[in-house]
Structure 1
């Protein structure tokens, strides 16, 4: 029998979460009830996690601990504690290691049986488009190809985010309705929840002063951080995706080149909303400044992963200051706005 430890990694959050839920459901089916815990490696000690796994309840026969940020578990003593626990672990106590990264520390990886590991790779645009069409069809709706393109441009490209956004259409339209690009504009572009992509849009408004853009962006950041299942790593990944697309926008328009609608579609700018957004953003940051911004995002990502949750909000706020006020230049010391 495989050890009761699992490792699910990779950026495709939706499929990854479904697999985690399937493990929980199998425990319920086997034992009848389960105590579920969601913990973060940056906030939790391994000895406390093991204590939860080893504590037996008179009323709940099984325990499942989901440990996110598993890439932070690296210390020799932490891995030795987990190894010792596994030697006597019961199948009623399960530990699920989760990370947005592709891999974890090699010593930790070795503790997990091969059959209990899976990497959930990000889907490319064609697979996401097929997933979207299938999801709408399964729920009784059709969707036009242009509408699919618009949703992909307005939403983080993982099935968890897409599922949440698509469910809003089911509340607004009757079954058998065909979702159009106009519907997407109405439901998502004007009424969507705050995300890394709405944050980028606020940061890239050339009609506002830098200080006004910073104020609005910090407000949006606060809203994102208060939402359920927010992840600073995913915020950074979303911003990086936007600035990489802005680099592409600059490169295909180099020298003032005119591009027809077909060419823009082939480059990934299908909807008018996306074209307007990146046209505005190109007036705020040059191609060279995009490279500096991406370097700042990468630096902040490394800082957040190494320092844990306690400073995340401050580090993200400082990043927004660097992008908006300094066009990607790093702050060597505190600077008043």
Structure 2
């Protein structure tokens, strides 16, 4: 029978390619052993590595091989946990693979030292050029295609994770059919306006001058774990800077359509949202928002998740209403943290 490694360490944020690697490994095991392996999936937030090792040491009555995945490998730092794992790896079960998984790009140095050098693999987030190539290839394999502008908008809206890219592309393929062409209107309808609450819908409520609705969007994002402060602020900075660039072009008497073309703002509905933003805020007000967001970004990076909801709600208020008496830096924030 093919010999498989006792342990593998899969790291990195690219969950799609990581899952593909796990699926391929599972397939090789099934082919080599004559049937699907017995599978176990653990999270180190719920069980200890000792519990996992106990399961590994107990053979299976129903399958020739066992496939054990453990998520949260970045938490394996305690001396006792590392010792437990080291004892197991000194004499691992011959009928099992242990796959340690983490979204981080590095595990504890002591953990990595326990593992064979070739057992560690990092799945990095796709670069922009890789993202474009992956989407084009995936959609083409399904028999569909993208208009150039539609592809640009799709790449702008969807995260650089192949799980997300695949899921959103599948929606469009189902709509246009396997021989269809995806247009910019399709992307607007099925990606931009059908998505759950996000940075775009949050800022739209700011533009609408509806503070209560903006807080509802924020609450929805928080409840769905989609309001990690740092990427949320980064998304808002990107969006407001584009709006500021548009406002500057309009102030310089560039026609709206020409300004949108120059900035790559595509789609009639998205352009309508940008027009509403430039109608609502002056250039100086948008500059104030950018400075404000940069200040909040620094605060979140320094203080982490503490007070995140309070600060995010305050940020939304300050984006809508000038409030020079509220600051996020210095002694005012320090007094809240204390």
Q: If the TM-score is normalised by the length of the shorter chain, which range does it land in?
A: 0.7 to 0.9
- Seen in structure 2, the aligned counterparts of structure 1 residues 251 and 43 have a Cα distance that, compared at 3 Å, is farther
Pick from 135, 144, 148 the counterpart of residue 145 of structure 1.
148
Query: Is the Cα–Cα contact under 8 Å of residues 8 and 119 in structure 2 kept in the other structure?
Result: yes
Q: Quick check: 1:294 aligned with 2:286?
A: no
Map 1:273-312 → 2, pairs under 5 A: 280=277, 286-298=289-301, 302-303=304-305
The residue that corresponds to 1:71 in the other structure is 74
Query: Is the Cα–Cα contact under 8 Å of residues 144 and 178 in structure 1 kept in the other structure?
Result: yes
CA RMSD of aligned residues (A): 3.3
Q: Secondary structure at the match of 2:194?
A: coil
TM-score relative to the length of structure 2: 0.77
Deviations 1:174-219 (A, max 9, x none): 2211111111112112223x2xxx3212321221433431123213
Q: Distance in 2 between matches of 1:23 and 1:332?
A: 52
Query: Is the Cα–Cα contact under 8 Å of residues 4 and 97 in structure 2 kept in the other structure?
Result: no
TM-score relative to the length of structure 1: 0.77
The residue that corresponds to 2:214 in the other structure is 213
Identify which of structures 1 and 2 has the higher relative contact order when contacts are C-alpha pairs closer than 8 Å and 6+ apart: 1
Q: Secondary structure at the match of 1:201?
A: helix
Q: Secondary structure at the match of 2:39?
A: strand
- Choose 47-56 or 272-281, whichever is displaced more: 272-281
Query: Is the Cα–Cα contact under 8 Å of residues 150 and 181 in structure 1 kept in the other structure?
Result: yes
The residue that corresponds to 1:245 in the other structure is 238
- Seen in structure 2, the aligned counterparts of structure 1 residues 60 and 276 have a Cα distance that, compared at 3 Å, is farther
- Seen in structure 2, the aligned counterparts of structure 1 residues 114 and 326 have a Cα distance that, compared at 3 Å, is farther
Q: Secondary structure at the match of 1:286?
A: helix
Q: Distance in 2 between matches of 1:288 and 1:72?
A: 36
The residue that corresponds to 2:323 in the other structure is none
Q: CA deviation at 1:244?
A: 4.5
Deviations 1:29-64 (A, max 9, x none): 233232323333333311112122222221133322
The residue that corresponds to 1:6 in the other structure is 8
Query: Is the Cα–Cα contact under 8 Å of residues 199 and 232 in structure 2 kept in the other structure?
Result: yes
Which segments of 5 or more consecutive residues in structure 1 lack a partner in the other structure? 226-231, 305-314
The residue that corresponds to 2:86 in the other structure is 83
Q: Quick check: 1:321 aligned with 2:313?
A: yes
Map 1:34-45 → 2, pairs under 5 A: 34-45=37-48
Q: When the two structures are aligned, how many residues end up with a matched partner?
A: 308
Q: Distance in 1 between matches of 2:137 and 2:59?
A: 43
- Seen in structure 2, the aligned counterparts of structure 1 residues 185 and 7 have a Cα distance that, compared at 3 Å, is same
The residue that corresponds to 1:120 in the other structure is 123
Query: Is the Cα–Cα contact under 8 Å of residues 8 and 96 in structure 1 kept in the other structure?
Result: yes
Q: Distance in 1 between matches of 2:149 and 2:51?
A: 50
- Seen in structure 2, the aligned counterparts of structure 1 residues 184 and 29 have a Cα distance that, compared at 3 Å, is same
Query: Is the Cα–Cα contact under 8 Å of residues 37 and 67 in structure 2 kept in the other structure?
Result: yes
- Seen in structure 2, the aligned counterparts of structure 1 residues 255 and 136 have a Cα distance that, compared at 3 Å, is closer
In terms of Rg, which structure is larger? 2
Which segments of 5 or more consecutive residues in structure 2 lack a partner in the other structure? 320-326
Q: Secondary structure at the match of 2:177?
A: coil
- Seen in structure 2, the aligned counterparts of structure 1 residues 16 and 191 have a Cα distance that, compared at 3 Å, is same
- Seen in structure 2, the aligned counterparts of structure 1 residues 80 and 189 have a Cα distance that, compared at 3 Å, is same
- Seen in structure 2, the aligned counterparts of structure 1 residues 21 and 303 have a Cα distance that, compared at 3 Å, is farther
Pick from 15, 23, 26 the counterpart of residue 25 of structure 2.
23
Q: Secondary structure at the match of 2:114?
A: coil
